[in-house]
Amino acid sequence: MGASPRSHARGKPGKRIAWPQTLAAMRDDRLRVEHLRYAREAPRGGVLHCFVLDCSGSMLAGQRLALAKGLLIALFDRASAARAEAALVCFGGAGAHVRFGPAVPRWWNERWLRPVGGGGGTPLTSGIRRAAQLLERSARIRPAQQRWLWILTDGRTRDEPARPLDADEVVFVDFERDAIRLGRCEALADAWGAGLFTPEELIG
At 153, which CATH number? 3.40.50.410
CB-hemisphere CA count at 13 Å for 53? 30
Q: What is the pLDDT of residue 40?
A: 61
Q: Same structural domain for residues 76 and 47?
A: yes
Phi then psi for 112, rounded to 5 degrees? -85, -20
Q: Which of residues 113 and 162 earns the better pLDDT score?
A: 162
Mean pLDDT of 4-32: 57
CA pair distance 141, 55, nearest whole angstrom: 29
Length of the chain: 204
Same domain for 108 and 194: yes
Cβ neighbors of 149 (< 8 A, separation 6 or more) are 50, 52, 131, 135, 164, 167, 169, 170, 171
pLDDT of residue 182: 81
Do 25 and 95 lie in one domain? The reply is no
Q: What is the pLDDT of residue 179?
A: 72
Range picked from 97-101, 110-114, 162-166 for highest mean pLDDT = 162-166
Q: Are residues 33 and 87 in the same domain?
A: no
Does position 128 have pLDDT exceeding 60, yes or no? yes
User: Are residues 82 and 8 both part of a single domain?
Assistant: no
State whether 16 and 108 are in the same domain: no
Mean pLDDT (whole number) for 96-123: 82
Q: How many domains in the chain?
A: 2
What per-residue confidence (pLDDT) applies to 42? 56
User: 23 and 58, same structural domain?
Assistant: no
pLDDT of 86 over the 80 cut: yes
pLDDT, tens digit (0-9, with 9 covering 90-100), for 136-194? 999 999 999 999 999 999 999 989 999 999 999 999 999 998 777 888 999 999 999 99
Could you tell me if 89 and 149 lie in one domain?
Answer: yes
When mean pLDDT is compared across 16-25, 69-78, 97-106, 165-174, the lowest value belongs to 16-25
CA-CA distance, 112 to 141, in Å (whole number)?
27
49 and 33, same domain (yes or no): no
The whole-number pLDDT of residue 7 equals 31
Domain containing 21 equals 1-41
**36 in the same domain as 48:** no
Give the integer Cα–Cα distance in Å for 65 and 28: 26
**In a shared domain, residues 90 and 191:** yes
pLDDT at 177: 84
Calculate what percentage of the chain has a pLDDT beyond 70: 84
66 and 127 belong to one structural domain: yes
